[in-house]
A and B are shown apart, each in its own frame.
Chain A
């Protein structure tokens, strides 16, 4: 890149940064501007939906799973596959918020309040399943494009 082009690029960057700091950041503080709408319009088609305030508050507790597998034991009275364990859901697919439609179709019945009574770290498994179900029902169908 020539020196002239470099100077143009830096000047453009400085101008954009100045506009961002002097107009858009203050506008966000007073609730004006369209940044959030533009952001969600860009990510929602990908399946990333905003969490509700109560889900956001609980989200750190969703991440407390230490993968001990204890929640997979109490309700397994009948022969079952690994996908029917609460553990498989909590430690795996529950993290796939961008694929909530798919995950919501496969949440095991055992991911419920009974499973969370034995969780050593108190992961709210039933609330986690409910959040994924809500996201799954609200998420748009993904396009077939990769």
Chain B
């Protein structure tokens, strides 16, 4: 996310920009809702790719029964409950048990909730591959409408809440088509695995890069050269060829553990420039990976290990433990920075950080 935001911002500012992209990272696993606010110009670019970002409602229902607070979400998840809402599960999708969820959400939702579990034609005995069901509904929303229409009429629902399964690419159009046919507003409850919401965001980011004329090289940085504390050149192993790239400024937005920006074996290591990695916890600085001290047995509690990253000065340049800038023309953005917790769903903040780094790089 930070890398794409930085590249689009730099390109928008007139800089010739190249993005080196390895594999999808945590962004492609996002739930479709996040903390923080994406920069408005970036939101507009995403909207042009049929990915509409809106302020999140006060609490979003999660398929594990919780109601969670976020700042922004994809419009598909911005649920307006109305007076009556029908929560719809689908046979063969065990991760969204509609009847159970209604019981868990009922007292905390300002609407009369009811549930139904419909069966789509051709449901496999072993249950659906979620992506294939999303593709099926995207291509033929009428089959879903036929299965649920009678229940919508019976309950008098004005909102229909479904799992995030309503399309891989044209999700907005799919929901509109279903909503128009049934005469209700259709929303997807965020969350669930695999994350089709994350896949949609990943595709929209790729389309943004393409429209912004950012050159994308799929590969990984294998080395770099520096003179006088400035990076002069990087080597990139692409899928079929090697590249040597020079630039005035490099933005490091490689993510943390999942993205591959930081590795944690015996010690921490930043994977591109070998920058110093910092973890601070209880007033102590850790150089080595110490699971007992840096992790919490309660999975959802604060995990200090996830704050490992590259410390920066106020301009975003990497610094060593003494506070000296290590590489003068490198800007660090996103969760690869120290202190920003990976996995905290703070995609909006990360996008803002990346956008700011891109603007600084192009200045």
Contact A80 B124, beta carbon cutoff 8 Å: yes
Contact B195 A68, beta carbon cutoff 8 Å: yes
> In this assembly, does B125 line the interface, its C-beta being within 8 Å of a C-beta of chain A?
yes
* Bound CA span A68–B194, Å: 6
B-side contacts of A77, CB under 8 Å: 132, 135
A-B contacts counted at CB < 8 A amount to 80
List B21-67 residues whose CB lies under 8 Å from chain A.
Answer: 23-26, 28-29
- State how many angstroms separate the Cβ of B136 from the closest Cβ of chain A: 5
- State how many angstroms separate the Cβ of B108 from the closest Cβ of chain A: 28
* Bound CA span A68–B28, Å: 10
Contact B24 A76, beta carbon cutoff 8 Å: no
> In this assembly, does B156 line the interface, its C-beta being within 8 Å of a C-beta of chain A?
no
Contact A81 B129, beta carbon cutoff 8 Å: yes
Contact B193 A69, beta carbon cutoff 8 Å: yes
Contact A72 B24, beta carbon cutoff 8 Å: no
* Bound CA span A87–B127, Å: 14
> In this assembly, does A132 line the interface, its C-beta being within 8 Å of a C-beta of chain B?
no
Contact B127 A68, beta carbon cutoff 8 Å: no
Q: Which of A12-20, A97-105, A112-120 contacts B (4 or more CB under 8 A)?
A: A112-120
Nearest B residue to A77, CB-CB: B135
Nearest B residue to A121, CB-CB: B258
> In this assembly, does A144 line the interface, its C-beta being within 8 Å of a C-beta of chain B?
no
List A2-29 residues whose CB lies under 8 Å from chain B.
Answer: none
> In this assembly, does A30 line the interface, its C-beta being within 8 Å of a C-beta of chain B?
no
Contact B126 A120, beta carbon cutoff 8 Å: no
B-side contacts of A118, CB under 8 Å: 23-24, 28
Q: How many residues of A contact B (CB 8 A)?
A: 25
A-side contacts of B24, CB under 8 Å: 70, 118, 120
* Bound CA span A66–B195, Å: 13
> In this assembly, does A42 line the interface, its C-beta being within 8 Å of a C-beta of chain B?
no
Contact A76 B129, beta carbon cutoff 8 Å: yes
* Bound CA span A70–B192, Å: 12
**Residue from the list B29, B133, B134 in contact with A70, Cβ < 8 A:** B29
A-side contacts of B258, CB under 8 Å: 66, 120-121
Given contacts A79-B122, A79-B124, contact A73 B133 (CB under 8 A): no
* Bound CA span A76–B343, Å: 27
Contact A72 B194, beta carbon cutoff 8 Å: yes
Binding site for B on A (CB under 8 A): 66-70, 72-74, 76-85, 87, 117-122
Contacts A78-B132, A83-B126, A120-B259 aside, 15 further interface pairs with beta carbons under 8 A come to A66-B258, A68-B193, A69-B130, A70-B194, A73-B131, A73-B168, A76-B131, A76-B134, A79-B122, A79-B124, A81-B124, A81-B125, A81-B127, A85-B131, A119-B23
List 18 A–B pairs whose Cβ atoms lie within 8 Å, in order of A's numbering: A67-B193, A68-B193, A69-B193, A69-B195, A70-B194, A70-B198, A70-B199, A72-B194, A76-B134, A78-B132, A79-B124, A80-B128, A80-B129, A81-B129, A85-B129, A87-B194, A118-B23, A120-B25
